[in-house]
């Protein structure tokens, strides 16, 4: 439409004295930013195409490149900020819904950063995790209200199926199709090595990954892609996806262009057809309906696997979780509004849902008050960034955490937020064979193992400092938390005292 109203978001700065015109940047950029001009004998840049993924910067052999934010300023004010102005221009040009990837960048409170952990001093000695046993293993699933043993010390009842995790962290749902074969393989291999679980997401399970079934959570979403008996049998647990933190209340859409080859076979839909998951499950309109699906899946898997129900953190999450617990689910996964996504309408991603910290505290409290907390395990996700976030989540009441964005960062993601274009230069959110092969699954697996091994050490150190030697003893122990800079209402919902109290 004539004038392009949007200035490039990034500026490519090339140090000509260092550039040897090797053209690595040209070959590495799927967005076609760099181009060698034989007449000029030098590299040129089309900055309108740059997404700031830093692939070229990382691989330039002479460190000749720098990508910086373009500081060409709009005439913004407190009301009309640059982002809002650009979005108006985009929609005036396209007439379409704005799409985004990864989690919400909105500058809303990150409560993890306003919660501080305790440490033992003088009376309750701290524990040195290098010298004393420290238990980070957790079991997810229904627990009995009371432990009852016979004369020989054996439990007097059969325990419901449990997931055993070596540490309270798992890889969250990311479908094959939204991420690449090699990204999925990295997650599957790492989950197996670490003794934790990864999650198929709603895209089915590639036949090559059935061998990782013992460390796989298979998801059943509203589109039911790739769901059949062998798929359910293959996983260690089944997750019903009712909602996702990045886009609560809506379904999913993987464009037909990405439904190719193995992706179409794994999803069991024709090549080139859009994979549209409806917003609701068309057979679920009540807790009773949900219960039917929970028990159908238990029946189909001979009551040998826990069933997880995943919901997005929304306004009345405590009541919703109470209903889900009564539906027979063994585990409730709650996804907060900062959670990542391969593609979501920007307005939904940035404006719908609530922070996971408040949702978790409200749910744990409600289930305790109703005396049903032990009937379900709670898994939380939605921007868990570090070992300290995990420890704070456990102290607020979680049994374990899901990570996804953190795992993708470990694989090389640079948070350029353009997964929905399918041109991920790091070989993660793409199905283009030339890009997929950039991610070596062996290397990816090792980086994930390194990350979580480091986190596990840090979790032990943090617990040891508090004089606590097991996740079990930390769970829901809000006395280990203090708030800073929070209102009375926020402190009440979180169930923590202010620092200094």
Question: Which of 21, 166, 386, 477 is in the footprint of ligand SF4 by CB under 6 A?
Answer: 21
- Three-class SS of residue 442? helix
Question: Would you give the binding string for ligand SF4 spanning residues 100-119, x where CB under 6 A is met?
Answer: -xx-----------------
What is the closest distance, in whole angstroms, from the C-beta atom of residue 145 to ligand SF4 in the complex?
43
CA nearest to 168, candidates 460, 372, 411: 460
Which window, 23-31, 250-258, 266-274, 386-394, contacts ligand SF4 (CB under 6 A)? 23-31
424 forms part of the interface with ligand SF4 (CB under 6 A): yes
**DSSP code string of 24-46:** HHHHH-TT--EEEETTTTEEEE-
Which window, 103-111, 188-196, 425-433, 482-490, contacts ligand SF4 (CB under 6 A)? 425-433
What is the closest distance, in whole angstroms, from the C-beta atom of residue 441 to ligand SF4 in the complex?
15
Site for ligand SF4 in 393-412 (CB under 6 A): 408
**Other C-beta atoms lying within 10 Å of the C-beta of residue 379:** 30
Which window, 20-28, 331-339, 349-357, 464-472, contacts ligand SF4 (CB under 6 A)? 20-28
The vertex-178 CA angle with 172 and 181, nearest 5°, equals 90
Nearer to ligand SF4, 31 or 136 (CB): 31
Question: Which of 7, 9, 11, 22 is in the footprint of ligand SF4 by CB under 6 A?
Answer: 22
- Three-class SS of residue 248? coil
23 forms part of the interface with ligand SF4 (CB under 6 A): yes
62 forms part of the interface with ligand SF4 (CB under 6 A): yes
H or E segment and range at residue 324: helix 317-326
Count of chain residues binding ligand SF4 (CB under 6 A):
30
Q: How far is CA 202 from the centre of its chain?
A: 14
Nearer to ligand SF4, 56 or 217 (CB): 56
Question: Which of 320, 325, 428, 449 is in the footprint of ligand SF4 by CB under 6 A?
Answer: 428
DSSP 437: T
Question: Which of 162, 178, 301, 418 is in the footprint of ligand SF4 by CB under 6 A?
Answer: 418
CA nearest to 428, candidates 27, 35, 53, 34: 53
Question: Which of 25, 167, 362, 486 is in the footprint of ligand SF4 by CB under 6 A?
Answer: 25
Site for ligand SF4 in 32-51 (CB under 6 A): 34, 43
CA distances from 216 to 195, 224, 254 (A): 11, 17, 22
Question: Which of 29, 30, 50, 53 is in the footprint of ligand SF4 by CB under 6 A?
Answer: 53
Q: What CA–CA distance (Å, rounded) separates 394 from 456?
A: 13
Burial of residue 370 (number of CB atoms within 10 Å: 0-12, 13-18, 19+): middle
DSSP 176: B
- Three-class SS of residue 286? coil
**Which chain residues interact with ligand SF4 by CB under 6 A?**
14, 19-25, 34, 43, 53, 60-62, 64-65, 101-102, 408, 413-419, 424, 426, 428-429
């Amino acid at each position: 439409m004539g004038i392009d109203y949007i200035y490039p978001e990034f500026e490519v700065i090339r140090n000509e004295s260092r550039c040897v015109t090797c053209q690595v940047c040209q070959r590495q950029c799927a967005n076609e930013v760099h181009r060698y001009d034989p007449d000029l004998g030098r590299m040129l840049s089309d900055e309108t195409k740059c997404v700031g993924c830093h692939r070229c910067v990382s691989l330039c052999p002479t460190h000749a490149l720098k990508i910086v934010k373009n500081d060409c300023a709009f005439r913004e004010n407190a009301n009309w900020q640059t982002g809002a102005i650009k979005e108006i221009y985009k929609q005036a040009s396209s007439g379409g819904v704005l799409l985004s990837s990864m989690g919400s960048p909105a500058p809303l409170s990150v409560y993890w950063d306003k919660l501080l952990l305790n440490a033992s001093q003088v009376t309750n000695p701290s524990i040195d995790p290098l010298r004393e046993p420290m238990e980070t293993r957790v079991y997810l699933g229904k627990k009995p209200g009371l432990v009852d043993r016979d004369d020989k010390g054996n439990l007097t009842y059969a325990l419901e199926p449990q997931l055993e995790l070596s540490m309270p962290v798992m890889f969250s749902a990311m479908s094959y199709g939204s991420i690449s074969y090699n990204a999925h393989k990295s997650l599957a291999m790492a989950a197996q090595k670490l003794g934790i679980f990864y999650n198929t997401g709603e895209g089915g399970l590639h036949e090559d990954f059935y061998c990782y079934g013992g460390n796989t959570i298979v998801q059943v979403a509203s589109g039911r892609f790739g769901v059949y008996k062998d798929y359910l049998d293959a996983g260690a647990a089944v997750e019903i996806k009712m909602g996702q933190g990045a886009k609560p209340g809506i379904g999913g859409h993987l464009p037909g262009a990405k439904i190719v080859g193995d992706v179409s076979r794994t999803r069991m839909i024709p090549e080139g057809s859009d994979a549209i998951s409806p917003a609701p499950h068309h057979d679920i309109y009540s807790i009773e309906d949900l219960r039917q699906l929970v028990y159908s899946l238990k029946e189909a898997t001979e009551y040998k696997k826990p069933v997880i129900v995943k919901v997005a953190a929304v306004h009345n999450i405590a009541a919703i979780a109470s209903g889900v617990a009564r539906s027979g689910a063994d585990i409730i996964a709650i996804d907060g509004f900062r959670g990542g996504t391969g593609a979501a309408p920007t307005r939904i991603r940035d404006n719908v849902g609530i922070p996971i910290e408040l949702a978790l505290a409200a749910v744990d409290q409600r289930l305790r008050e109703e005396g049903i907390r032990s009937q379900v395990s709670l898994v939380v996700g939605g921007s868990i960034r570090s070992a300290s976030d995990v420890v704070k989540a456990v102290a607020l009441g979680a049994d374990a955490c899901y990570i996804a964005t953190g795992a993708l960062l470990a694989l090389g993601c640079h948070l350029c937020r353009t997964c929905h274009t399918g041109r991920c230069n790091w070989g993660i959110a793409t199905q283009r064979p030339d890009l997929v092969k950039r991610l070596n699954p062996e290397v990816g697996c090792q980086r994930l193992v390194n990350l979580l091994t480091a986190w596990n050490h840090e979790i032990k150190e943090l617990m040891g400092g508090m004089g606590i030697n097991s996740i079990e003893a930390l769970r829901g122990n809000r006395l280990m938390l203090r708030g800073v800079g929070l209102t009375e209402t926020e402190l009440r919902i979180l169930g923590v005292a202010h620092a200094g109290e």
